[in-house]
Amino acid sequence: MENIVSQSWLLGQLGDANIVIADCRFALGQPNSGRTLYEQDHIPGAVYVDLEKDMSGALMAHGGRHPLPDLGGFSILVGNLGIDGTTTVVAYDDQGGAMASRLWWMLKFLGHSEVYVLDQGYAAWKAAGYPVTAEVSQPYPRTFSPKVNRRMLASMDEVKDKLGRPGTVLVDSREERRYLGLEEPIDKAAGHIPGARNFFWKGVLGENGAWKTAAEQEQHFASLRDAEEIIVYCGSGVTACPNVLALNEAGFDNVKLYSGSWSDWISWEENPIATGSEE
């Protein structure tokens, strides 16, 4: 797999000064829980990266619940974590890879190629008896020079312009009941962007919580093979990222993230909403 590393591989790299391990654990609705867990114990050498404080910007009228942060400020943060063009980054969480995949996507978007997600996450690492520590890492700051890959990102206007366009497929990464509009526990309107197809993001994981193989991902997304372009969204631009990563694993190179996602789409009253199945 191109974007996933195994627990045993990471174990063999502990202490390597050119590898930065990023702990991305986070629980929605409990914004301090991830850092608290990190301070209790984490993989040795890991730095903590907070979904809302580090990987998201300030909430505005538009942009969704987890808008992208200011890229200049984020690039400085990345450098302060010890990451530059020579560094390999391995991100992990305990949320099925959702938060780690957000960091993976953001670093890829800023032109950093050597970034990976740890298979199965922290609980599996700890259960395997691999080393953990409560010692907070003090990284040596480096200079991170971003090179924005604009074609990885789709704006609301771009999504709206491409509604119904042959060759463009929208992928909704939320649970089926939210996609169908049967329930909406978080956002103010239920349903999905018209024409979107539902691929719940946890479908990229196997029964044991490990990421499916590249061949399995290819089979999972086989119905999208003829798409000229795939735009992926979720509720706020976080759990769409595992689908983006898995599509990359499956060999798709025409994938964009609509970072504002559903929570941004419905902030524009004139935007259309669909419910029910699109099959």
Round to whole Å and give the CA distance between 258 and 248.
Answer: 16
Determine which helix (DSSP H) or strand (DSSP E) holds 90, and give its type and residue range.
strand 88-92
Q: Write the Ramachandran bin of 72: left for phi over 0, alpha for psi from -120 to 50, otherwise beta.
A: alpha
Strand-pair category, 4-5 with 115-118: parallel
Q: Which of 234, 238, 244, 255 is labelled catalytic?
A: 234
User: In what order do the strands lie in the sheet containing 19-23?
Assistant: 4-5, 115-118, 88-92, 19-23, 47-48
Round to whole Å and give the CA distance between 119 and 128.
Answer: 13
- Residue 24 catalytic? no
Round to whole Å and give the CA distance between 48 and 50.
Answer: 6
Which residues form the catalytic set? Answer: 234
